[in-house]
């Protein structure tokens, strides 16, 4: 069993993949934070698994709760979910789209980080300099192959004060040493601790149960930042389907992977 983890502030995402299916799950809580106020313990509920064309993604980090104007937005004009969705639009291979998305995210994240630094240096160092600022997990079907790609952006502050990013990259197939792999991003302390003690848990459960249980572990440990319900999406070479979702999560659109493939036959 192979594992890949990254630590970011709030949100818990787990994806499990083999050659036949990918199951991805995410919690629902977005904690509201600003440079001038403490965390809102209530937060707001969001659907964190997003469809764009025939691709699905989920992201975690310290920024980008969206343009709703609710108290706590670092930059209401920048909706990271919308930025990622637009960056993955268009024709071409998923890996090429994700490579292009990197440049878009670097520009947007640089703008958000610099704004946070100017407004409150202490907040900036606590929330942006200590943890990866953003992680995105992308899944889809490409050339009859189920692909899973991860990008993690960690802020680098040079001695002169300029900002840049170290970008962690992972792709499966490609970087995964075996067909089965678990990817987790965001708030992952409880997940990592459990997997270190239970490396062979996969043999005792199905993908959906594994994803649900791991996210719920994090919800139990960090309820201030991670919250129920857990939304779960399953992707196979025949198409995509919700296993469980709250009402905020939209139906899989007409351009789902299954219908895209059928239209090409």
Domains present along the chain, CATH in parentheses? 2-264 (3.60.20.10)
**For residue range 71-119, what is the model confidence (pLDDT) as tens digits?**
444 444 567 888 999 999 988 999 999 999 999 999 999 988 888 888 8
Contact 235, 139 (CB under 8 A): yes
Give the pTM. 0.87
SS3 212: helix
CA-derived radius of gyration, the chain: 18
User: Residue 229: is the preceding peptide bond cis (ω within 30°)?
Assistant: yes
**For residue range 150-192, what is the model confidence (pLDDT) as tens digits?**
999 999 999 999 999 999 999 999 999 888 899 999 989 999 9
d(CA 252, CA 242): 8
Contact 141, 54 (CB under 8 A): yes
């Amino acid at each position: 069993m192979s594992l890949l983890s990254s630590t970011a502030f709030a949100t818990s995402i787990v994806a499990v993949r083999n050659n036949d299916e990918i199951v991805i799950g995410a919690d629902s809580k977005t904690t509201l934070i600003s440079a001038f106020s403490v965390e809102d313990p209530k937060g707001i509920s969001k659907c964190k698994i997003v469809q764009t064309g025939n691709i699905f993604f989920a992201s975690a980090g310290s920024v980008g709760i969206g343009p709703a104007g609710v108290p706590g937005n670092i930059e209401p004009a920048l909706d990271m979910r919308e930025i990622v969705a637009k960056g993955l639009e268009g024709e071409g291979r998923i890996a090429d789209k994700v490579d292009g998305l990197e440049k878009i995210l670097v520009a947007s994240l640089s703008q958000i980080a610099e704004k946070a630094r100017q407004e409150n240096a202490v907040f900036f160092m606590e929330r942006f300099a200590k943890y990866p600022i953003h992680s995105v997990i992308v899944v889809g079907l490409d050339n009859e192959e189920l692909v899973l790609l991860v990008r993690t952006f960690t802020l680098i502050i040079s001695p002169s004060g300029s900002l840049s990013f170290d970008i962690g990259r992972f792709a499966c197939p490609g970087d995964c040493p075996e067909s089965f792999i678990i990817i987790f991003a965001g708030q992952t302390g409880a997940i990592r601790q459990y997997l270190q003690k239970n490396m062979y848990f996969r043999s005792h459960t199905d993908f959906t149960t594994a994803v649900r249980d791991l996210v719920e572990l994090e919800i139990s440990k960090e309820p201030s930042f991670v919250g129920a319900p857990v939304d779960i999406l399953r992707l196979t070479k025949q198409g995509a389907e919700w296993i469980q979702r709250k009402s905020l999560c939209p139906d899989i659109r007409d351009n789902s992977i299954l219908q895209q493939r059928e239209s090409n036959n």
